[in-house]
Structure 1
Amino acid sequence: MTVHVLEPACDWRAADVADETRWTLELSPADIAELEAALACAKARAADLLDVTRDDFPLPSLAPRLVEIEAQLIDGCGFARIRGLPVERYSDDDAALIYWGIGMHLGKPWPQNKHGHLLGDVTDHGKSGADSTSRGYELGGVALPYHSDGSDLVGLMCLRKAMSGGISTVANALAIHNELVRTRPDLAALLYEPQPYDYRGEEPKGGEPFYSMPVFTEHAGRLFVRYIRPYIEASQRHPDAPRLHPKAREAFDLVDAVCADPAFNVYMDLEPGDMQFVNNYHVLHARTAYEDWPERNRKRHLKRLWLETARLTDRPEKFRNFSSHWAQKRTKSELKLDA
Structure 2
Amino acid sequence: MTELLPVGGRAAWDRESLREDDWLVRLPPVRPDADGPPRAYDGSRAYDRSDAYDRSDAGGRSDAGGRSRAYGPSGACGRDADRQALAEAAAGVDRRLREGPGFAVVRGIGLEGRDDDDCVELARWFGGLLGTLRPYDGPADGLVTAGARAGRTAASPGRERDDRALPPHMDRSPQREPPRVLGLLCVHPAASGGESTLVSGAAVHDRLLAERPTALLRQLYRPVHFGRGADFDRYFPVFRRPTDEPGALEVRYNRHHIERGQREAGIPLSAAYLAALDAFDAVLADPRMVLRVPLRRGDFLLVCNKAVLHGRTAFTDPAEPDKHRCLVRIWAD
TM-score per shorter chain, which class?
0.7 to 0.9
What's 1:285 paired with? 310
What's 2:234 paired with? 211
Report the Cα distance in structure 2 between the residues aligned to 1:111 and 1:122, rounded to whole angstroms: 15
TM-score by length of 1: 0.74
What's 2:259 paired with? 233
Residues 27 and 85, structure 2, Cα contact 8 Å, conserved in 1: no
Report the Cα distance in structure 2 between the residues aligned to 1:36 and 1:94, rounded to whole angstroms: 22
Whether 1:28 aligns to 2:28 is: yes
What's 2:75 paired with? none
Whether 1:87 aligns to 2:111 is: yes
Residue 286 of structure 1, CA deviation: 0.5
Quick one: which of 97, 102, 124 aligns to 1:78? Answer: 102
Report the Cα distance in structure 2 between the residues aligned to 1:164 and 1:36, rounded to whole angstroms: 38
TM-score by length of 2: 0.75
Residue 237 of structure 1, CA deviation: 4.1
- Superposed, 1:130-149 pairs within 5 Å as 136-137=159-160, 139-149=161-171
Give the counterpart letter for 1:274 in structure 2: D
What's 2:216 paired with? 187
Quick one: which of 246, 250, 253 aligns to 2:278? Answer: 253
Query: How many residues matched?
Result: 282
User: What root-mean-square deviation, in Å, do the aligned CA atoms of Structure 1 and Structure 2 show?
Assistant: 3.0
Q: 1:302 to 1:31 in 2, by over 3 A?
A: farther
Unaligned residue ranges in structure 1 (runs of 5+): 46-51, 130-135, 309-339
Q: 1:53 to 1:302 in 2, by over 3 A?
A: farther
Residues 40 and 84, structure 2, Cα contact 8 Å, conserved in 1: no
Residues 162 and 300, structure 1, Cα contact 8 Å, conserved in 2: yes
Summarize deviations over 1:109-154 as a string: whole Å, max 9, x none. 12453x386x62211254444xxxxxx54x2111111101221111
Unaligned residue ranges in structure 2 (runs of 5+): 52-79, 147-153, 172-177
Q: 1:76 to 1:245 in 2, by over 3 A?
A: same
Q: 1:60 to 1:161 in 2, by over 3 A?
A: closer
SS in 2 for 1:177: helix
Report the Cα distance in structure 2 between the residues aligned to 1:177 and 1:191, rounded to whole angstroms: 9
Give the counterpart letter for 2:24 in structure 1: T
Q: Matched residues, percent identical?
A: 32
What's 2:191 paired with? 163
Q: Which has the higher contact order (CA 8 A, sep 6+)?
A: 1
Summarize deviations over 1:287-316 as a string: whole Å, max 9, x none. 1111223433222110011111xxxxxxxx
Report the Cα distance in structure 2 between the residues aligned to 1:188 and 1:35, rounded to whole angstroms: 53
